Amino acid sequence: MSETQILNTLEIHRALTRIAHEIAERDETGGEVVLVGVQRGGVPLARRLSQLLGGIWGQPVAVGTLDVSMHRDDLGQRAAPEVRPTVIPFDVTGKTVVLVDDVLYSGRTTRAAMDALNDFGRPRRIQLAVLVDRGHRELPIKADFVGKNVPTSHAERIQVRLAEMGQTDEVVLEKGTP
């Protein structure tokens, strides 16, 4: 199996900084925006975006974590997924919630995340920020903020490695062995 680096440490930082500025530009009022990281890869990215946005707005931006296992549409067709903590330490009603995930692929995780989020209240709007959009959508879902678009084939895999998970920051494309 061969690996190609798509983003290095610096490029990940640049992509997140740009996304933070785009969020700040789109959503003027800082106090009304909250970030929700989708378990697992989205959680550290949401925390980083919160830091960056906090710097831009000069005020802290709340971060939550969301596990979508209980809302997946393929339960019963596969072994039960590991359920990681969901912590939404704020009321989402009336807020602009930016869902943060590492990779956007079929869109099914995002669909489940929106359903899960609705159990916590009625956000004013939900936006989606992803580090990598690899295409192949199976649902009518589109990201509002994208770090990098990466055309892929189904046989390939995107690995997002982050310092928070004990690795060096990088995004790589793994070519599947045919």
Partner 1 sequence: MSWNRKHLLDIESLTVEEIWTVLDTARAFKAVGARAIKKVPALRGKTVVNLFVEPSTRTRISFELAEQRLSADIINFTTEASSLKKGETLKDTARNLEALNADFIVIRHSASGAPHFLARVLNASVINAGDGAHEHPTQALLDTFTILEAKGKIAGLKVTILGDVLYSRVARSDIWALTKLGAQVTLCGPTTLVPRVFEQMGCRVTHNVEEAIADADIINLLRIQHERQRKTMFPSLAEYTSLFGLNQARLARTKPDALIMHPGPINRGVEIDSEIADCPRSLVLRQVTNGLAVRMAVLFLVNGGKGPQEIAGN
The CB-of-85 to partner 1 minimum distance in angstroms stands at: 7
Near partner 1 by CB under 8 A: residue from 81, 108, 157, 159: 81
Work out whether 165 is an interface residue with partner 1 (CB under 8 A). Answer: no
- Does residue number 37 form part of the binding site for partner 1 (CB under 8 A)? no
Buried b (16+ CB within 10 A) or exposed e, 48-81: bbbebbbeebeeebbbbbbbbeebbeeeeeeeee
Report angle CA 34, 54, 67 to the nearest 5 degrees.
Answer: 35
Does 78 bind partner 1 (CB under 8 A)? Our answer is: yes
| Min separation Cβ 166 and partner 1, Å | 18
From 22-30, 64-72, 134-142, 149-157, give the range in contact with partner 1 by CB under 8 A.
64-72
Residue 140: Cβ-neighbour burial (10 angstroms; 0-12, 13-18, 19+): exposed
85 counts as binding partner 1 under rule CB under 8 A: yes
Please give the Cα distance from 86 to 115 (Å, whole number). 13
Least distance to partner 1 from the beta carbon of 172, Å?
24
Give the residue, chosen from 14, 60, 75, 139, that forms a contact with partner 1 under the rule CB under 8 A.
Answer: 75
Q: Is 168 exposed, middle or buried (0-12, 13-18, 19+ CB in 10 A)?
A: exposed
Q: Interface with partner 1 by CB under 8 A: which residues?
A: 67, 69-71, 75-76, 78-86, 115-116, 119-121
